[in-house]
Amino acid sequence: MTLTESIHERRRALREGSDDRFVQRDEFCRLLLSTKRMVRSDEPRVQIRGLLDMETGTRFLIEQEKLFAK
């Protein structure tokens, strides 16, 4: 298995996680700036940025390349 295949497999597993929710850039940025109590919850090995909602346990995720796209 190549590194790219490994990243795609791990990302797929995160997408299927019950408490993980992938969001678009606008929503992720809104969550970053919100007053909700959030904790960073990144997955650096697969280039995923994350925020964990401390009240609900939901983790909001975005692929790094989507977050930093122009």
Structural domain boundaries in the chain: 3-67
Confidence of residue 3 (pLDDT cuts 50, 70, 90): low
pLDDT for 46 beyond 70: yes
What is the average pLDDT across 39-55?
Answer: 95
What is the average pLDDT across 50-63?
Answer: 95
What is the average pLDDT across 47-65?
Answer: 95
Q: How far is CA 47 from CA 21, 35, 54, 56, in A?
A: 15, 25, 22, 24
Q: What radius of gyration, in Å, describes the C-alpha atoms of the chain?
A: 12
Q: Under the phi-then-psi rule, with left for phi > 0, alpha for psi from -120 to 50, and beta for the rest, what region is 35?
A: alpha
